[in-house]
Structure formats: C-alpha cells, structure tokens
Amino acid sequence: MAKKDPERNPDINHADESVEERVHRMLDPSVPDEVPTKPKTKIKIIDNNADEPSTAPEIGEMPVPKEPLKIKILHDDIDSLAEDKPVEPEPPEKVPATPEEPTIGDALDEQDDAVTSKAVDDIVAKEGDELLKVEDEKHAQAVKPPEKKSLGKRIKHFFAAWWANPTARWATIFGILLAIVAVVVVPNSRYFVLNTAGVRSSLSIRAVDESTFQPLKNVKVYVGEASAVTNTDGVATLEKVKLGSQELVIDKRAFAAVTKDVVVGWGSNPLGDFQLKPVGTQYALTITDFLSGKGIGKAEAVSGEASAVSDDMGKIKLTMDEPPDQIEVTIKAKDYRDESRTISADIKTETSVSMVSDRKEVFVSKRSGKFDVFKVDIDGKNEQLVLAGSGIERDDMVLIPHPTEELFALVSTRGNKRNKDGYLLSDLTVVTLKDNVPKTIAQSERIQILGWQGDRVVYVQVVAGASAADPKRHRLMSYDYKKGDNRELAAANYFNDVMLAGKYVYYAPSSAYLNGVNTSLFKTGADGDNRQVIFGKEAWNLFRTGYEHIAIAAPNNEWYEYTLGDKEARKLNGEPSNTVSRLYIDSPDAKKSLWIDNRDGKGVLIAYDIQSKEEKVLRSQSGLKNPVRWLDNKTVVYRINTEQETADYATSLDGGEPKKLRDVTNTGGIDRWYYY
C-alpha cells in the first residue's frame, strides 16, 4: 500500500523543520509517513535550439530560449511510476570478508566519488531551497484572508451564479409568478404582500349628529396606527392606513363611541356617514340674520370641546358632557361677526342669537363741527373714530369703501395745500380700518374716483399747475394699495368720458391738442394691461343703457353700441330710445349688481342678477340715491337724502325691513363722469 504524500497530508505540520530535515525526508525513503512514496524524479531541461541537452542552470539564471523549452522527465523506474508504487531499495552488495589492498585506481575513484557527492549535495541543497520557497508561498496563500469584494461585484456575482443555475432560476421565477397570483386572487395574501412592501392607502368618513343629522367637528377617528379629526363639515381623512381588515373607532365627548370592522382597500376608501348618538345634555339655539330674520345655515356654536353646526333653518343642538352652571357659548358664521352668549345649565328653552355682517359701515359725520370719518357695525355697535377732520375740508368730499377689504379711499382738502394761484388742492387718501392710518397717494386741483378694481383704485387727476392747453393735462391713474404701485394708464388734455364696467376701464380721450392721435375709444385693465381699441373714432359720450350694453355718441350724430366682451362696437341706425346712463355696482362675488332708478319721484334700489339677467326691486323710497355699496354678498347700504334727514340704511337681499345705521354728511361716491 502506497504511503501518504507529506505534501498533501493536512495532518503533518512541516512549518518548523529545517532545510536539511526536509531534504532528508524527501530523499530518504526509509523515513515513515514523512517521505514521498513515489520514486525520485529527475528533471532535465532541454534547449530546443541546441544540439545537445544543457546542464541545469542556476535558479534565476536560466537563459531565455527562442522557442518554448521541452522538459524531459527521467525516472528510475517507469513502471513503478506508472503504477504509482514505491520503489523497493536495492539490496546492498555483499562485502568480501577480507578487503583487498587499495590501488591507485581505487584512490582516484574515491576522489571522484567525493567530488560527485559534493556536487549532488549542492544540487540537492539548491533544489531543497526552491521547494521550501514554493511550499512557503503555498502556505502563505492558504492562510491569506479572502479578498473583500464590493457590493456591486457581490450582487453581480450573485445574479450571475443565479442565472447560471437553471434550478434556482426557474424556482425563483415560479415563486414570483405564484406570489403575483396570490396577490391578485387572494385578498388576505394581497394585503399582506402590499403591506410588507410598504403600500399604504387613505380613508375618509363623515361624522354627523344622530339627532340633527348635522356634521360634527373635532371628532376623533382611529384606524390602526392612523388617526385624524373631523373638520367643520364633519369630514376626517386618514392617511398612511394599512390595507386589509382594520378596526375603525369614532369618538367624541358626550357622544357614544362607534366601533366597526372595515376592510381598507386600494385607493381613497370613502366610508360615508357615521351617526353618533348624543349621550350628554343638549342645548337648543336658533341663529338668524339681523336684517332679514332668516336662519343662518352652517353657523357653529362652540363651548370648550363641545361644538355643533346649524341646519338651513339656523337650528343648533349643542351636546355637552357634565356642563357647568353657566355655559359660555361662541357662535361663528362666515361673513358674520362672532357672537357670545351665557346660557344657564338648567335652561330648557331655545336661545335665539341674531348675527350681523362682519364688515364695517364707514361714513362722514360733522357732529363735532369737523368732517370726521367713523366706522360702525350695522346694528349700531362698536362705533369708532377712524380719521379726525382737519377743520378745513370742503363739503365736496368723496368716500368710497373697498368692496371686499376693510379700507376706503377718501378725496378731501384735509391736507390744506394750495397751488401757486392759492387754489386749495385735493388729496386722495387711502385708509385701512385695521390700523386707521391714512396714506396720501395723490394731490391735485381735481381728483375723481372711478372705483375699485381688485387691489387698485382707479381715478383721474388734473396735473397740478399744468396749462389748460397741455395735451397731457388729465391723467388716468390706478393705485395698488398692497404694492404701493401708482401708475398712469392714459393721458389727454381731458377725457370726454370714463367709466368702469366689468373688469375693464373704458376711456375716450378728447381730440383737443392731440392732432388726431389716440382719438379712439379704448378699454384696458386696471393695471394697464390688455389695452384694446373698440371704436376707432373719437367718442363724445358713453351711456350704460344696460348691464352689458354701452351706447356711444360720436361726431356727426352717429351712434354706436358696444356689448361687454365683444372686440369692437357696431353702428346703430340712429339715437337709442334711452340715453340715461346706469351706474352699476357689482357684488363682491360678481354675481349681482346694484343700480338706482327714479320712478314716480322716488329712488328705486334694484338688484340685477348677472347670470339670470333678472332684476329685483329691493327698496323704493323718497330721497333714495347714490352712493350705494355692498357690505357682503347679501347686505346693501344705501343713502337717503331729504329735507328731514341724510342717513345711511342697510337692507338684505333676503328681505326684512331696512335698518337705519347713522345720520351722516352727504358725501359723494362713485358717480357719473364729469369734466371741466
């Protein structure tokens, strides 16, 4: 049986043996378990380019052949090498009993043997060193730590190995297909996979009071780890909700909690209305409009954490849990002033609350002997001085409140400035009601306000000190109160007519001193953009005969009509039957417009519906006149000027009797254009 090769035996440690010991082990076949079991092999290097084999060169000094070297292996016993059998040592020759006398030849042989032995020893030592070096390199390579690969290489190697393995590849593909089928077909599997992948959905509910069917605010809604609180419409939307079967919990103080199992699917999941049963003490309130007396829908009553919303009739049932002896309730509604009430805890009757517009009425009064500006609520409460008079104002003051914001524009001589001829100049002042701080934006011999367009007040002013022959003596201007931007829209010696209609400013420059230039009828935005010519001749007068129609008087007794929104005017066959111009004042939401007519000696306040084109008479009264204004989309303020009184009244589009606000000074407002 062949012995183990020590170079391949992992149980034998040769790391600490010397070179001589290793060479001895390699050459001596009698060493047990530590010697090579195969016969010694001799290596002869043959130079392909030489006739005879060369002797073995020193390591590192081998000549480079022109062609690859051939290595010839010489073995003592080819048969034993082929059979991989150990070579049995030859038996030693018998030594004669009586040694012969040494001869000269024997001495020479011994000398040759010594030289040969030394040469062999040198070769064995060199070969042993080389073998030791090779083994050391193998050992170092064996104990060397594996090289760390980058993540990208590892991933690439993994997928390459996976793809090269058909079994793993098809098993993976089959698993993926099976998972897809499970996700599509089996709901629980589908939800599990999607939730594991981080997919989330949303859910919404609406909470209502079971006793009134009105939405409940501040109701807490829970689904799993997601939660939300209902808004004023009773709606709560929960985000990042896990899919699948979940428990829905709806909770509000003084109401019975609602618990329900729901299935959350893909998408928004609107679950509809949930009725909450009141279990606390309920208090009844009725909310009405101050002017019309009609109920106010969607008014909210709040007391601590308790809240409730009114129905279309203004009815509210406020549910409270263990109320105190006195309940402080605040009522809020859009476009109305907040109201507060104190209700006894044991009260059983209904509490009525009348609400007024949150907009302030602004007026001028001379009760102090000077023209002072005041603001007041329409029920007469909260009156406050806004701008004290200087004592030098003329009585031709003009006050025009903004249609939607709490500010107004005022034209007066309160600045006490004069031109070089001693003429008292007018100031255009903008005042915000929040801080009552005035800001003068223009000063001129004459200023006429045309109205508000968004954040801009549009006006015409005479250039102070300009000659009457100046082709730019009059300037059409607009001022943005938010940006402080005051810009010129147009200029002329004077304007034949100017008006605001819808979203545009219409103006007709006079041909005086213009030499025929810019003698057309123009329209432009309040910021100066989108200027267009709608009539290519000089226009003398503009008459707004209807909400959408403007009649145009031109030279040579020609008449034209322009319809709002058209590109140009069209010629009429003659003078229209009605040349009375109407002054329309649009509501904040631009759905209705007010104008005043004179019928049977009385002023008639009319509301025009822009969409339906229908008119409704709001009030017919002696002395009713401009100015009129909107406080909100339903509340209107108009002026009464008779020998008995000059006062402002408020009325509602929903009906009811008008309410007198205050006696006032008869200031001007938006009116027909005039020039001098």
Cβ contacts of 125 within 8 Å, gap of 6 or more: 19, 23
Contact 599, 619 (CB under 8 A): no
* 143 vs 339, higher pLDDT: 339
Res. 434: pLDDT tops 80: yes
Per-residue pLDDT, averaged over 204-230, amounts to: 94
601 conformational bin, left if phi > 0, alpha if psi -120 to 50, beta if neither: left
Question: In terms of Cα–Cα distance, which of 305, 331, 333, 330 is closest to 319?
Answer: 305
**pLDDT confidence of residue 164:** 79
Give the model's confidence band at 464: pLDDT under 50 very low, under 70 low, under 90 confident, else very high. Answer: confident
Q: Omega of the bond prior to 145 within 30 degrees of 0, cis?
A: no
- pTM summary value: 0.68
Q: What amino acid is encoded at 80 in this protein? A: S
Please compute Rg for the chain using Cα positions. 54
Contact 278, 323 (CB under 8 A): no
52 or 584, greater pLDDT: 584
Of 17-21, 45-49, 238-242, which range is least confident? 45-49
For residue 39, pLDDT beyond 50? no
Among 111-115, 123-127, 196-200, top mean pLDDT goes to: 196-200
- With cut-offs at 50, 70 and 90, classify the pLDDT of residue 324: confident
pLDDT bin (cut points 50, 70, 90) of residue 52 is: very low
Residue with the bigger pLDDT between 655 and 121: it is: 655
Residue 326's contacts (CB-CB under 8 Å, 6 or more residues apart) are: 342, 343, 344, 345
> What would the mean pLDDT of 487-512 be, rounded to a whole number?
93
Is 360 a residue whose pLDDT tops 80?
yes
Q: What tens digit of pLDDT does each residue of 348-359 get?
A: 889 999 999 999
Please check the confidence at residue 256 and state whether its pLDDT lies above 70. Answer: yes
pLDDT, tens only, 366-375: 999 999 999 9
Is a pLDDT exceeding 80 seen at residue 112? no
Q: Is the pLDDT of residue 207 over 80?
A: yes
- Position 470 scores a pLDDT of 86
Average pLDDT, the chain: 82
At residue 144, the pLDDT reads 57
pLDDT higher than 50, residue 342: yes
- E strands present in 265-418: 270-276, 281-289, 300-303, 306-309, 315-320, 326-332, 339-344, 351-355, 361-365, 372-376, 384-387, 398-401, 407-412
Mean pLDDT comparison of 86-90, 131-135, 158-162, 197-201, highest-scoring range: 197-201
**38: pLDDT strictly greater than 70:** no
Tell me, what's the pLDDT at 325? 86
Higher pLDDT pick, 434 / 178 = 434
Q: How many residues appear in the chain?
A: 676
In the predicted structure, residue 88 carries a pLDDT above the cut 60:
no
Domains in the chain and their CATH numbers? 19-40+76-89+106-140 (no CATH), 196-276 (2.60.40.10), 281-355 (2.60.40.2070)
Chain Cα centroid distance, residue 483: 25
Instruction: Give me the percent of the chain exceeding a pLDDT of 70.
Output: 75
pLDDT value at position 28? 57
Greater pLDDT, 464 or 615: 615
Does the pLDDT at position 487 exceed 60?
Answer: yes
Determine the pLDDT at residue 174: 76
Using CA atoms, how far residue 451 sits from 189, 259, 398, 584, 644, in Å, is: 67, 58, 11, 11, 30
pLDDT value at residue 162: 74
pLDDT band at residue 116, thresholds of 50, 70 and 90?
low
Closest C-alpha among 521, 526, 523 to residue 509: 521
Confidence label for 123 from pLDDT (cuts 50, 70 and 90): low
Model pLDDT, residue 624: 96
C-beta separation of 335 from 350 below 8 A? no
Residue 70 pLDDT > 50: no
- Reported as a pLDDT band with limits 50, 70 and 90, residue 196 is confident
- d(CA 404, CA 650) in angstroms, rounded, equals 17
What pLDDT score does 611 carry?
A: 94
pLDDT, average across residues 272-299:
95
- The bridge status of strand 351-355 relative to strand 281-289 is parallel
The pLDDT score that the predictor gives to residue 199 is: 85
